[in-house]
Structure 1
């Protein structure tokens, strides 16, 4: 647009740097805004071709010089940037898909393990009518035996506790008698 342009960094203010003009148009072109009207020679904005005016007056724009190659370069830039962005999007989606596949594989294996462990102790349908009551009776007998053992153990603990308590009481009584007779 501006051939033989040497001033990219204006000494007036950072807002008027020409680098912003270089970045501004391609940035919006990535999103699909072609801005072809900026490449036309007959623009409505006030501009000048005199170098001293646009260099020292930041409000005055430099008139661009129209060339058909600008439109071709713009089209190639938009094509390449959009292709790269689409490829990037595809790469992100494929990475996400692979992670989901990997996690679903792990989840499936875990749930399969749970089902196998759940059915490991189950009895097949026709046999469970005979074996299930026997199994329940076995569990009940085992529970009763454990309860009886627990009660016996508690009784033994209580008896040993009472014996220890009696010993302590007799020792205290003897010590009390000794104390009384020694005075």
Structure 2
């Protein structure tokens, strides 16, 4: 039986898995994700996720993945891919064989040059854990600089203002939402 492994249990990976089923694929599907959660929508993180500090908006519940026969591995990353033997080595030491492989790892926020990743007061917003960390710092009177006047940056700035933080928005292009 054909086995499709999908590295990246974000929205793209999860929707691809369900689309395979909707298009009639009957083989095995395994979705591999680093986060401890089932796949969730990331856009709400910059608004609802910050304002309410709630659980993320999941793509589907456990029962729907089980019903669709989609195995979801959470809390593990793909450490290496052996294309010759068609196997993915996972961070928990396990190996997963596949016939087809889909990489759906998404994007990452750009880091500042020469700024260490663990710089305590500099944060990025990509995951539910990131949203919770930022939410914890958004208290009335807190001061926040948001770098990037795109959709996510503007939503983050608006939510921070609603929570009583002072916000400065920095955009490198001539206008926001370029």
When the two structures are superposed, what TM-score results if normalisation uses the length of structure 1?
Answer: 0.20
Higher helix content, 1 or 2: 1
**If each structure's strand is expressed as a fraction of its own residues, which one has the higher value?**
2
Q: Which structure ranks higher in relative contact order (CA pairs < 8 Å, sequence separation ≥ 6)?
A: 2
Q: What is the TM-score normalised by the length of structure 2?
A: 0.21
